[in-house]
Amino acid sequence: MGESLSRSSVLRGAGLGAAGLAAAMLSGAGTAGARTAAGAGELPHVRLIRRYYEAYASGDPDALRPFFTPDIRWTIPGHHPLAGTKEGIEEVLAFFRELRKSGFRAETLCIAADRDWVVDLHRGWSTTPEGLDTTWALAFRIRNGRIAEAINFAGDQHAADAFFWRAHPLAPLPDRLAP
C-alpha cells in the first residue's frame, strides 16, 4: 500500500469520474459510516482534515507544516505554472505560498473517510485577482496521523488552468532560464 496513486488510478479504481466521485461522497457511498457532522463521534482522519482547513484559513502556509509527513506528495492537476506533483514539505509549502498570492480561499462542503483515505469536496475561489470560483475534491492519504499524499480534482480544469496562467505568469526570457 506504500505505493503512490495517480489521480486517474484513483478514479478508475473507484469506477468514477469527477462528478461520480462527488455524488458518491454526498450520498455517503464507500464511507463505511464515516461521514458525520463535525464534532463528537467524528473519525480521527476527518478531524485531521478539518483542522488542516482551519490552519489553511489562517493564511499562514507555515501553519500547515505539522499536518504533513516529511515525504508528502501533493498533486495539482492541469497545464499551468503551479501544476504538477510537489514532493516534500518545502515544495508543498512553496506551492501554498504561491497560492496565497491569489488570495485563494476554501469552504468545506463535505468530508468522507474510509481506512487511510479522506476525500473532501469544497468550494475554492480566488480574491486577488478574482475570477476562479469552482468546486474541488481532494483525496488525502493519511499515514501516522499526517497527510502523506493529496491529489486535487478540479470541478472545472479549463477555468483553473486559465486562472493560474493569469495569476502566476512565467517570468520573461531570459530571466526565466537564469539559475
Reported as a single tens digit per residue, the pLDDT across 139-173 is 999 999 999 999 999 999 999 999 888 888 887 78
Cross-sheet strand order for the sheet of 133-143: 84-87, 68-76, 146-154, 133-143, 117-125, 105-114
Of 45, 49, 61, which is closest to residue 94 (Cα–Cα)?
61
CA dist 8 and 113 (Å) reads 19
* pTM of the complete model: 0.75
> Using the 8-state DSSP alphabet, how is residue 133 labeled?
E
Reported as a single tens digit per residue, the pLDDT across 43-98 is 999 999 999 999 999 989 999 999 999 999 999 999 999 999 999 999 999 999 98
Q: Give the 3-state secondary structure of residue 162.
A: helix
Confidence category of residue 5, pLDDT binned at 50, 70, 90: low
Q: The C-alpha cell of 61 is what?
A: 502556509
CA dist 75 and 139 (Å) reads 10
Task: Give the pLDDT score at 13.
Answer: 47
Reported as a single tens digit per residue, the pLDDT across 119-135 is 999 998 888 878 888 89
Residue 104 dihedral angles phi and psi, to the nearest 5°:
-70, 135
Task: Give the pLDDT score at 4.
Answer: 53
